[in-house]
Structure 1
Amino acid sequence: MLMFLPLANLFLSWGIVSGAAIPPSTSSTQPSYTQEDQDFADLYGNSSIPVFELHSRLGTGVVPNVFRNVIGELVDLFRVHDHADVNRTLEFTSLLVDNNVTVAIHESMTEREALRKRALHLPYLAYHITLDGRNLGNWQNFVTTGYLFVTQGIAASPTNNGRNPYELILLVGQPYTSPAAGSIRFFTNRYLYKAVMGSSYYSLLDYVFMTLGRNSITTKIDTRIAAANQLSCFNAHSGLFANCYNIAAGTFQINSSLRPTIYGGISFIGTGYTFYSRAPYSARFSATLVGKGNLAL
């Protein structure tokens, strides 16, 4: 895991201003730049769009997005894959077009690189999350905050644990470089590593089972391949020499459908990287929608 330590200095810089826009196309093919797209972008004005800048080793450049109305495409895509709850899909897409929700434009590669590599374009909802790990059996109590990204599910993966209706990226603290109780990074698919590491990882590898309930989204770690999810880890306690525990088992439960405010809980077991040990991570959470955008990976 030493190879990942230099990359752990990556950090998020956030700026939020007023404005809203319809998310860009989710197609993995090259987008079409039309005058209508430009008129739409000009109407809202780039300076008025809230920007979530992701600092990666490729730099911090934020590139223009192509704005297109893809709500019908999203609904059709979700239905084609036989999601259990079409109403949940409509809730997801209604949040994407809600003009009261701020818009984030986020690109981890330059526009030219994204097109050359035919990157996936994933609409996402960004939540500010508060994790409360007090009196839940953790090695050290904690209350901490960060960001939870809920993206459209990635269609293809070589694992046989089923297609995920959504993908999750949880970014709380810096568990590698600044160990603190409650700090955690969690990715449901290896392809999502590119959100914080640039273009090093391209393989699709689904690390979880995900199921939809009537009013819940349950993510369960696939223990068969959890060890391969090396960027998903947490700190059980604070301190300069605190270990970063690989997430080896457990669940991430959202106890509601996707709405502007969501609640749930996390119950993970982690294993040590440098020597075998096991540590718990349990937390209740609440999260508030703070933005939306398109993730080009």
Structure 2
Amino acid sequence: MTSTATEPDTRTGAPRTTSAAAPARRTAPDGVRLEAVARGFDGPQGRHEVLRDLDLDLGAGEIAAVVGPSGCGKSTLLRLVAGLDRPSAGEIRLGDSPLRGTDPRTAVAFQEPRLLPWRTLEKNVALGLPRGTGRAEGRDRVRHLLQLVGLEHAAALRPREVSGGMAQRASLARALARSPEVLLLDEPFGALDALTRLRMQDLLLEIHAAEPTTVLVVTHDVEEALYLADRVLLLRSLREDSVSGSIARDLDVPGTRPRDRADRELAALRAELLEGLGVHTHHTAPTPSEISS
């Protein structure tokens, strides 16, 4: 009978003081710049544009979230920045250099953990280490990351022996193993239950505080976007608009992380984003006196 580990009752993942220090980052995190980026595909019914005239400048260490209706190009955008696809027009720059295919300075974590079932969590995380990493250095790095995501007690377990949240934490640790300057997250918590999802959001912010990196996260959850990000990009569906560019709105999120999930300003931005997605919230904006009180 397979033993099963469960999520701890308390929130985990806070940085801990350990004997294995985190390896120093070689350079400061890079920013990302997209200039007039477009992506289209040819099909039986002709050319289908997914992204158009997309200009985006992500500062080093910034967290940006992307929301939008299905088919608006959210995952396509992430694939382009990851170097897994190439734009039909425009240019993507990572730091000072144009992006030409996959780049070791970027890492991706997907909605599914995609762990190798025959490997332990420790060995799955080790798969993310850069080529040429020494054995002792790699062992220390993996140990540090497992402690960072609260999985040091589960290092020897295999994916089938842990919960979905623990598997997702291992996937996140694997993405961080190479100390990426740019971390790309595609619906990373979408398959988790509501409570585990909230804990994973807090964990991501704790990891970002411990190991700052530029983060671009795609999500369908407007509240998640506002809680995590410094800014939220709302993409439009080009099927419904044959003229405008892909970015419908680019909203700065007030306050500093971690934010109060019940903040009134966030509630107003949530209503604005949902309206942009075609969801009427019946939200009444607070008066200036209510905001200041």
TM-score (norm 1): 0.27
TM-score (norm 2): 0.27
Higher strand share: 1
Higher helix share: 2
By relative contact order (CA 8 Å, sep 6+), the higher-ranking structure is 2
Determine which structure has more spread, i.e. the larger CA radius of gyration: 2
